[in-house]
Amino acid sequence: MSQAGSNRSIPTTMDVLGRSPGASAPESGYEKVVILPKMREDDLAAHAWADARFAADILAEHALFFALLMPPELAAKERAEALRFQTTFGQLYERIDSAGPPARSDVKTFTAQMTEPIKEFIDYKARLGEAQTTGALRSLVWPLFFDHTRHEAERWGRRFDDLGRGESGFERKEVVAFWTNIMDEHSRFVAHLLDPDEFELIEKALSTAHVFRHLADDSVGGTVKALAQEPGTVIDSLTSNPDIDAVMSAAQTILDFKTQAVRDIEAGRIKSIIEPRLADHVRREALKFLNELKRAE
């Protein structure tokens, strides 16, 4: 799947966001840069294109990760289905990326192309999540991973419905509730994918999960609990910048943590069974969280 290095020029309404500030090209073969509308850009077509491009790539990767965790000896049929979804969303990504943003009058038709494949993928994730839970499926995919990725797909479905109705804005309460849960689960996934000898990183990942659970209600009480139970774990920037709110601080800190972690995984400095593409995947989702949170302010 190609990334933001294609020959087509990036629209001037967009920012190209890499791992390092100001970097517009990948620093490794595993990194994918993220293309999002500039912070004050409110053009509906720009938002529809950027989100469709981002979502198609993320969903194609979900399918890839399922396939990697489904040995043919255990789940040949389910693995083949996953690979078909990877192809479907990969081809959708290529079409979206090469075509560029739609005309404002075509946004509803443009976003509608996402609807059916997302619905089909949601059904697949729900069906296999239930099968894994009951033991009817014996893959290496956690039931929580099926649920986690299903919730992401459901939110993308809602997002494209909103864009199709001409609504491109984000509401802070929804952004915080959704992404703090995703960051909590990411942290628990990381803890269980690290080598058992990585004691310090495992503890940090689990502490990070606790922080995001406390911050989910976006209240003073949640912040107090996070500070009291896990001081400094992912909200250390509060000490240097007391004007920043706890959720924003946590979002920035976990993005920084994931960015360094993916570099360390690629270089073999972290012992784990985390595939580098998965590490970069969760980094890009943390970046999207932070970007949406800033837009919702």
The DSSP annotation for 67-121 comes to HHT--HHHHHHHHHHHHHHHHHHHHHHHHHHHH-SPPGGGHHHHHHHHHHHHHHH
Share of the chain above pLDDT 90, in %: 81
Last-in-domain residue among 152, 169, 186: 169
Torsion sign over Cα 221, 227, 228, 230: positive
Contact criterion met (CB below 8 Å) for 139 and 65 = no
Q: Say how far apart CA 87 and CA 208 lie, in whole Å.
A: 34
Domain count for the chain, please give it.
2
Domain shared by 119 and 8, yes or no: yes
- Asked if 124 and 176 sit in the same domain, the reply is no
Same-domain status, 280 and 214: yes
Q: Are residues 155 and 12 in the same domain?
A: yes
- Report d(CA 165, CA 169) in Å as an integer: 12
Helix (H, G, I), strand (E, B) or coil at 139: coil
> How much is the average pLDDT of 182-196?
98
Both 13 and 130 in a single domain? yes
Which of 24, 28, 19 lies closest to 4 in space, CA to CA? Answer: 24
DSSP states of 196-207 as a string? TT-HHHHHHHHH
Do both 146 and 200 map to the same domain? no
Same domain, 18 and 149: yes
User: Whole-prediction pTM value?
Assistant: 0.91
Residues 41 and 73 in one domain: yes
**What are the pLDDT digits (tens) for 56-102?**
999 999 999 999 999 999 999 999 999 999 999 999 999 999 999 99
156 and 226 in a single domain? The answer is no
pLDDT at 7: 42
Map residue 23 onto helix, strand or coil: coil
**Model confidence at 242: pLDDT above 80:** no
Q: Same structural domain for residues 193 and 162?
A: no
pLDDT exceeds cutoff 90 at 11: no
Polymer length of the chain: 297
Type of residue found at 103: A
Q: Contact, 231 vs 238, CB < 8 A?
A: no
Beta bridge partners of 14: 37
Domain around 108: 1-169
pLDDT at 22: 82
76 neighbors 125 (Cβ within 8 angstroms): no
Domain boundary among 123, 154, 169: 169
Q: Are residues 41 and 109 both part of a single domain?
A: yes
Instruction: Taking residues 123-140, report their average pLDDT.
Output: 98
My answer on whether 284 and 235 are in the same domain is yes
Which amino acid, 139?
S
Residue pointed to by tokens 């959720």: 247
Which of 115, 146, 169 terminates a domain? The answer is 169
Q: Say if residues 183 and 212 touch (Cβ distance below 8 Å).
A: yes
Q: What's the average model confidence in pLDDT over 190-201?
A: 98
Q: What is the CATH number of the domain that holds 154?
A: 1.20.1260.120
